[in-house]
Structure 1
Amino acid sequence: MDIEKTLKSKRLMVGVLSMSFLLSASNAISGTIPAMEEAFSNVSKANVELLTTIPTAGVMVGTVLTGVFSNYLGKKKSVLSGLLIACIAGILPTFFPEYWPILISRFMFGVGMGVFNPLSVSYITDLYEGDRQRSLLGYRQAASNLGDTVMLFIAGLLITISWNATYLVFLVLLVPVVLITLFVPKEFDNFNIKSSSVDEEGHIHAAETSARPSTNWKVIFLAVVFMLISMFYNVIALKFASYVVTNGIGTAATATWIFSFLVLAAIFSGILFEKISKITKRLTVFIFEIVIGVCYVAVAFVHNVPVLMALVLLGGFAWGIINPALTSRLVDVSPANSMNLSTSIIVITINIGFLISPYFFAMFAHLFGNDSPALAIIIGGVLYLVVAAIDLITVKADKQLTI
C-alpha cells in the first residue's frame, strides 16, 4: 500500500467522514413521540419522552467502552462494531413495538453510537495535520448536520407508514459500514502522521511509546467549555417553537420550518471552516460565541419571521464554526497518545450538557418567577457572551493555542 498516496485519496477522506455522517441519528425519531404516547397510554408522558433521551446515557457508556474496544479489536473494527450495534438496536423497535423492548434497544443504540463517536475525531487527527486536518474537522461538522437532515427527511417519509416503521431509518447506518469497510485500511489502526514511520515496502511502524493515555487540566477545562456551550445552545431547540407560538408569530410548523435553516447554515459553515479560521485565527471561538450570544438575545425581541430566520441562520452558521474550532483546540492541548481519551471526555461532557439543559433553564425560570421562552433564550444568549469573555482571556493567557 502506498501510504502517501492513500492519505491523499478522496476515498479515504470519504470513509473517515462517513463516521460523522450519522452522529445526530438519534434525533430522527423525535416525531414519533405523539404516536407513542397514544400507543403507550398506560405509560406516563415523561417516560415516553425518555425514549428519545435515553440514547444519551447509552452514548456515555459506549464512550467509556471505546478504549476497551480499540485495545481488543483495533480502531477500524471498533468503529464497525459500534455502527452495527447502533444499526441493529436502532431498527429493533420496528419489530418489537412495546415500551420496555424499545427502551432497552434505544439504550443499546446509544452505546453503539458512543463506541465509534470518539474515533470519528481521532481518525482525522491521527491521519491528517495542518490545513487538511482543520478542513476535515470542518467537513466533519458539515457531514454531521447533513446526516441529521437526511435522516429527518427519511423518517418523515417512514412515519406515514406507521410510527414503529420510522425506526427503519437506522438502516442508513449501513452506508458508513460499507464505506469504512471499503475505503479505510486496517493498517491505519495504529498510524499517527506525526510519529509513525513507513518502510520501503509500505509497512507502517508505529513509534514505540511508554506514555499511557492521560489527561490534563486544559482538556478538562475545554470539556467544561464544550458542556456549557452545548447546554446554552440547546435553549433554541427547547424554547424556539414555544416562543413563536406564544407570541403569535406563527405556528409550530412555522417554527420547525425556520429551525430547519439552522441545520442548513451549520452545514455551510462546516465546509467554510478552514478558510474562515485562517482569517479569524485565535479569535475564532470568541468571535462566533459573540455572534450566537447577540443572535439569541435579539431573537427574544423579534416578532418578524424573515428577521427571525436570518438570526437563526446566523446562529447556526456560528455553531458550525465553534464546534470544529474547539475540536482543533483539543488537538493542541491533548497529551501525547491520548486523543481517544480526550475525545471521549469531550463527548461525555457534551452529552451531559444537552441532557441537563432543560433542568438548567427550568432553574432560571424558577429563580426569576418567569417561565417565558423569551427569558430562557435571553439567558442563553447572555451566558454565551460570558463564555466568549472567558475564551478571550484564555487565548490571551495561553500562547500554545493556534486557534
Structure 2
Amino acid sequence: MTREVKKYGLNVQLAVLAVSLLLTSSNIINGILPQIRDGLHVSNAAAELLSTTPSLTALITLLLSPALARFLGLKNVIGLGVALVGISGVVPMFVNDYTVILISRIVLGLGLGLYNSLAVAIIQVMWAGDTRSTLLGIRGAFENIGQMILTALVGVLASSFGWQGSFSAYILAFAALAWFWVVVPDVKLADNDDEEADGSGDVFAEKSNVVILTLFVLFAAGYLVAMQSGFVRWAAVTQEALGADFNTSTIMSIGVAAGIVSGFGFGALNKFLGDMNTLYLGIFIEALGCFFLYFANGSYALLVASIICFYLPGPILGPWLFNQLPKYAKKSQQAFWSTAIMIGFHVGIFVAPLAMTAIEAVSGSKDLAVSFLPFGIALLLIIVGVFAYTHMPHKSADTTVKA
C-alpha cells in the first residue's frame, strides 16, 4: 500500500468520487422535456436547448479551470463548481420564465465545466499507481451511476410534483459539496516538475510528448463520435425495427449498468491485460457495437448487444487516456492535458450528429444505421494503426506506449 492510500483512505476517496455523480446531470431532464415545453409554452427546439446548452457553456470554464485551480487551489475550484451546479440547478423550482431558466442552465454548464477535468486531476494528484487506475475507472462509473439515479429521481419527482418539482433533484449537489468540503484536504496542482515534491512514486515525463498527447485528444474526440452516435441513434433504430411502443429506456438502462460494471473493473482489467491490450479491447468492443447495430436488421439480440457495447468501453477508454498522462506529460502539465482530453470528449459529442448527417448525405441512404458501418471500420483501423506504430522500431523509446 502506498503512502497516498494510507493518507487518503476510503472516506476521502468516496468524497472525491461523489462530485462526479453530477457531471452528467445536464441531460437528466431529457425525459421530462415535453412537460417543460408545455409548462413554459415554448417549442420543442427551445425546450431541448435547456438540455444541450450546458454542454456548450461548459467549454468556457473547462478551458479556464486549470489556471484557476493553480491560483485558488483544486479544492476551492471544485467546490465552487459543485456549488454553482446546485444553485443554478434548483432555480427552475421557483421560476416559470423561460429566459430565467435558460440563464440558469447556462450557469449550470459553467459550473460543470469548472470542475469537469479537475475531478480527474485531483485523483492524479492524490493517488498513484494501481490505486489511481482503479479510482479513475470508478470515477467514470460514478458518472453513469449519477445519471441513472438522478434521471430516475427526476421522473419520480415530476410525476409527484410536476416538472418544476423535478429540479429539486439538484439539491443532492449540496450534499456532495458538504461531504467533499469537510473530508477532502486542500491539495494543489504542480507548478513545477520537481518529482521529489510529488512524493507519489509516479515517474513523470521529463518533457511532454506533444505529438502523442495531441493524438490522445484526437482519439478522445474520435471514439466519442461513434459512441455518442450510438447513444442518440439507438432508440430510433430500435423503435423503427420493433415498433414505436417498444420501451427502449429499459434496455438502455441495461447498457448503463454495463458501463458501471466496466468502470469499477477498469483498474483490475488494466493491471491484468496491460495498457495496450486494455486499449485494444475497449476499441474493439465499441466497434462491435457499431457492427451489431448496422447488421441488426430488426434482431432483438443484436440490438440489445449493440447498446451494451456502446456503454461498456467509455469507462475503459476514458480512464485509460488519463492514466497514460504521467508517461507523456510533465507533472506541471497534467491538468492542461486532462482538460484538453475533456475538450476532445465535448467536441466528439458535438460532432456526432453532424458526422451521421454527412455520412447519410454522401451515401444517399435513408437507413438510420448506415453511419455505423464506417464508424466500426474506422475503429478497427485505429487498432491496426496503433498496433503497427507500437511494434515498429523507434529512435526514441519514450515515444511509444508499452504494455
Contact in 1 for aligned 2:90/2:167 (Cα 8 Å): yes
TM-fit CA distance, 1:290: 1.4
Q: Specify whether residues 284 and 69 from structure 1 end up closer, same or farther in structure 2 by C-alpha distance, changes over 3 A only.
A: same
Ranges in structure 1 where 5+ consecutive residues have no aligned partner: 199-203, 205-210
TM-fit CA distance, 1:309: 2.2
Contact in 2 for aligned 1:19/1:117 (Cα 8 Å): no
TM-fit CA distance, 1:110: 0.7
1-side partners of 2:309 and 2:67: how far apart?
40
Q: Specify whether residues 104 and 197 from structure 1 end up closer, same or farther in structure 2 by C-alpha distance, changes over 3 A only.
A: closer
**Residues 66-75 or 385-394, more deviating:** 385-394
TM-fit CA distance, 1:261: 1.2
- 1:239 counterpart residue number: 233
The match for 2:267 among 256, 260, 274 is 274
2-side partners of 1:298 and 1:4: how far apart?
43
- 1:172 counterpart residue number: 172
The match for 2:323 among 328, 331, 337 is 328
- 1:229 counterpart residue number: 223
Between the aligned residues of both structures, percent identity stands at 22
- 2:347 counterpart residue number: 352
- 1:45-88: per-residue Cα shift (whole Å, max 9, x none)? 32322211110111101112213432332111111001001111
2-side partners of 1:80 and 1:215: how far apart?
32
Contact in 2 for aligned 1:18/1:180 (Cα 8 Å): yes
1-side partners of 2:45 and 2:383: how far apart?
35
- 2:253 counterpart residue number: 260
Q: Which amino acid aligns with 1:170?
A: Y
- 1:375-398: per-residue Cα shift (whole Å, max 9, x none)? 133333233223333333444357
1-side partners of 2:315 and 2:198: how far apart?
34
Q: Specify whether residues 253 and 65 from structure 1 end up closer, same or farther in structure 2 by C-alpha distance, changes over 3 A only.
A: farther
Q: Which amino acid aligns with 2:77?
A: S
**Residues 138-147 or 391-400, more deviating:** 391-400
- 1:305 counterpart residue number: 300
Contact in 1 for aligned 2:91/2:101 (Cα 8 Å): yes
Ranges in structure 2 where 5+ consecutive residues have no aligned partner: 201-205, 393-397
Say yes or no: does 1:58 pair with 2:52: no
TM-fit CA distance, 1:40: 4.2
Contact in 2 for aligned 1:6/1:12 (Cα 8 Å): no
Partner-residue secondary structure (3-state), 2:331 = coil
Q: Specify whether residues 110 and 252 from structure 1 end up closer, same or farther in structure 2 by C-alpha distance, changes over 3 A only.
A: farther
Q: Specify whether residues 108 and 214 from structure 1 end up closer, same or farther in structure 2 by C-alpha distance, changes over 3 A only.
A: farther
Q: Which amino acid aligns with 1:261?
A: I
- 1:46 counterpart residue number: 45
- 2:395 counterpart residue number: none
Q: Specify whether residues 190 and 378 from structure 1 end up closer, same or farther in structure 2 by C-alpha distance, changes over 3 A only.
A: closer
2-side partners of 1:137 and 1:4: how far apart?
15
2-side partners of 1:180 and 1:8: how far apart?
13
- 1:141-168: per-residue Cα shift (whole Å, max 9, x none)? 1111111111111111112121222222
**Residues 259-268 or 189-198, more deviating:** 189-198
TM-fit CA distance, 1:262: 1.2
Q: Specify whether residues 304 and 129 from structure 1 end up closer, same or farther in structure 2 by C-alpha distance, changes over 3 A only.
A: same
TM-score computed with the length of structure 1 as normaliser: 0.88
TM-fit CA distance, 1:99: 1.8
Q: Which amino acid aligns with 1:171?
A: I
Q: Which amino acid aligns with 2:104?
A: S
TM-fit CA distance, 1:121: 0.8
- 1:389 counterpart residue number: 384
Say yes or no: does 1:110 pair with 2:105: no
Q: Specify whether residues 242 and 335 from structure 1 end up closer, same or farther in structure 2 by C-alpha distance, changes over 3 A only.
A: same
2-side partners of 1:252 and 1:6: how far apart?
53
1-side partners of 2:45 and 2:272: how far apart?
46
TM-fit CA distance, 1:194: 4.9
- 2:281 counterpart residue number: 287
TM-fit CA distance, 1:227: 0.7
1-side partners of 2:76 and 2:216: how far apart?
29
2-side partners of 1:360 and 1:102: how far apart?
30
1-side partners of 2:164 and 2:321: how far apart?
37
Say yes or no: does 1:220 pair with 2:182: no
Q: Specify whether residues 242 and 317 from structure 1 end up closer, same or farther in structure 2 by C-alpha distance, changes over 3 A only.
A: same
1-side partners of 2:195 and 2:8: how far apart?
16
Count residues with an aligned counterpart.
Answer: 386
Contact in 1 for aligned 2:4/2:126 (Cα 8 Å): no
Q: Which amino acid aligns with 1:14?
A: L
Contact in 2 for aligned 1:239/1:377 (Cα 8 Å): no
Q: Specify whether residues 402 and 9 from structure 1 end up closer, same or farther in structure 2 by C-alpha distance, changes over 3 A only.
A: farther
2-side partners of 1:5 and 1:22: how far apart?
25
- 1:379 counterpart residue number: 374
TM-fit CA distance, 1:274: 1.6
**Residues 104-113 or 156-165, more deviating:** 156-165
- 1:183 counterpart residue number: 183
Contact in 2 for aligned 1:58/1:110 (Cα 8 Å): yes
Contact in 2 for aligned 1:292/1:318 (Cα 8 Å): yes
Partner-residue secondary structure (3-state), 1:278 = helix
Contact in 2 for aligned 1:259/1:312 (Cα 8 Å): yes
Say yes or no: does 1:195 pair with 2:196: yes
